[in-house]
Amino acid sequence: MKNLQVSLTNVKNESRLFKESRSLKKNLFSFIQIVGLWEKGLEKHSVLQKDILIDRIDLKSRRLPKSLFFQLTKYLEFLFTILFKYKKYDVITIHSLGLLPIGVLYKFIYKSKLVYDAHEYETEIHNLKGIRKKLSKILEKFLIRYADKVICVSESIANEYKKLYPFIEKPALVLNTPPYKKIEKKDKFREELGIEKEKTIFLYQGGLSKGRGIEILIDTFKSIEDDKAVIVFMGYGPLEKEVKKASKEYDNIYFHSAVSPDVLLDYTSSADFGILFYENNCLNHYYCSPNKMFEYLMAEIPVIVSNLYEMKRLVEKYKIGVVAKENSIEGLKEAIKKALELDKEELKENIKKIKEIYNWEEQEKVLLEVYESLKDK
C-alpha cells in the first residue's frame, strides 16, 4: 500500500509528520509521499529515508498578493497539483482543516481512504474570528463525516469533536510525544551562552508567536527579584526580534536559535526547568497537550505551566512540576519560587516514570491501530 501525506507547511521541522511517516513505513506501507509547500532556501525534492519522499510544491501563484481572491487562487493551484500529480494512493492523510476539501475530493476521485490528523482544535484558535471562524466550523462539520478516521492531539479535543459531530466515531488520541530516549544530561546553554554554573536556567522552547505567553515571560524576567534565575528562549517566529532585543538589554534573558530535532533533547536537558505559558485566549490553548511539554519530560526536566486544563491535569496527576495559579507575571513569579522549593529527587523519579508512558513508541501503537482498521472499511 501507498500513503500520501499532505501538509500546508514547508515540511522542514514537522516532527509529528515525520514520526508518523516513519512508523507507517516501517509497519504498514511500502511507500510514503509527503507533500508540502516550497519556500526559498529549501529543496523542492528530498528524501526523509528510503521510500519516504518529500516534495515541496513551488506554486506559480505564490508571488501573488495575500488578498482573499489571490489566496483562493493559490489554494486551487495546490489542489489541482495534488489531484493530478499524485494519483491513486491507497490512503491520503491530511494535516489541517484547510486541507479537508482536498482530502475529500481525492478520496472520491481515487477511491482512497481518508485520514484527518487534526494537529490543533483549529476552529477554536485565538486568531480565527468573525466570518472566517463561522466558515471554518461549517466546512469542518460538513466534510468531517467523509473522513474514514480522525486523529486528535488531546483527550479533551477528542471529546469536543465527538460532542460537535455525534455522527462520527470518537477521534483516536495520538499525542505528539518524542521517541523514548535515555538522557545523559548536557550543559549546552552554559557552554554556548556563557551562563554561570550557579544560575538556574528556565527554558522556553518552541514557536515565538503571539498567544504563547512570550511577552509575559519577558516581562517576568525583566522584573524578577531572584538574581540566580535566567531564561533561555530557543525557537523562531514573529516575536524573535522582541526576544533578541530583551536578551541584549537584560543579563538574565538569553536567546538561542532553534536546533535540529536530532540534537534537540541535548539542549533541552541542559535547562533546569521547562516553561509553557500559553495564554487562556482560546479553547485550542485551554485543551492543548503541546509536544514541548513531552520534550521537556523526555529530557528529564520538570515543568512550569500556565493554568490550562490539559497541562494542569498532567502536571498535577504525576507531580512533575508547578501549575501557576494565575496566567500573569505575578502568577509566573510565584510558580518559579515554588518550583525552586520542590524536592528534586522526587521530581526526578516522577519524571522517569512518566517517560515510560508518554513516548512515541506507545503512541505509535494507537497510530497503527487507526491505519490497520482502514482495511475493514
Task: Spell out the per-residue pLDDT of the chain, length 377, in tens.
Answer: 999 999 999 998 888 999 999 999 999 999 999 999 999 999 999 999 999 999 999 999 988 888 888 889 999 999 999 999 999 999 999 999 999 999 999 999 999 999 999 999 999 998 889 998 999 999 999 999 999 999 999 999 999 999 999 999 999 999 999 999 999 999 999 999 999 999 999 999 999 999 999 999 999 999 998 889 999 999 999 999 999 999 999 999 999 999 988 899 999 999 999 999 999 999 999 999 999 999 999 999 999 999 999 999 999 999 999 999 999 999 999 999 999 999 999 999 999 999 999 999 999 999 999 999 998 76
Q: Is residue 183 part of a domain?
A: no
Cell (9 digits) for 79: 489542489
Cell (9 digits) for 174: 495520538
Angle between helices 291-298 and 344-355 (to 10 degrees): 120
Domain count, the chain: 2
Cell (9 digits) for 238: 514573529
Residue with cell 487562556: 280
Looking at the structure, tell me whether residues 109 and 9 fall in a common domain. Answer: yes
Q: Is residue 168 part of a domain?
A: yes
Query: Are the C-beta atoms of 309 and 156 separated by less than 8 Å?
Result: yes
User: Exposed/middle/buried for 111, CB within 10 Å: 0-12, 13-18, 19+?
Assistant: exposed
- In terms of residue numbers, what domain contains 238? 188-355
Looking at the structure, tell me whether residues 299 and 213 fall in a common domain. Answer: yes
**How far is it, in rounded angstroms, from Cα 189 to Cα 203?**
10
First to last CA, the chain: 15
User: CA torsion angle for 57, 61, 66, 67 (degrees, to 10)?
Assistant: -130
* Strands, E assignment, the chain: 2-6, 31-37, 45-49, 52-57, 91-94, 113-117, 149-152, 172-173, 200-205, 229-234, 253-256, 273-276, 303-305, 321-323
Q: Is residue 130 part of a domain?
A: yes
CATH number at residue 38: 3.40.50.2000
pTM to 2 decimal places = 0.92
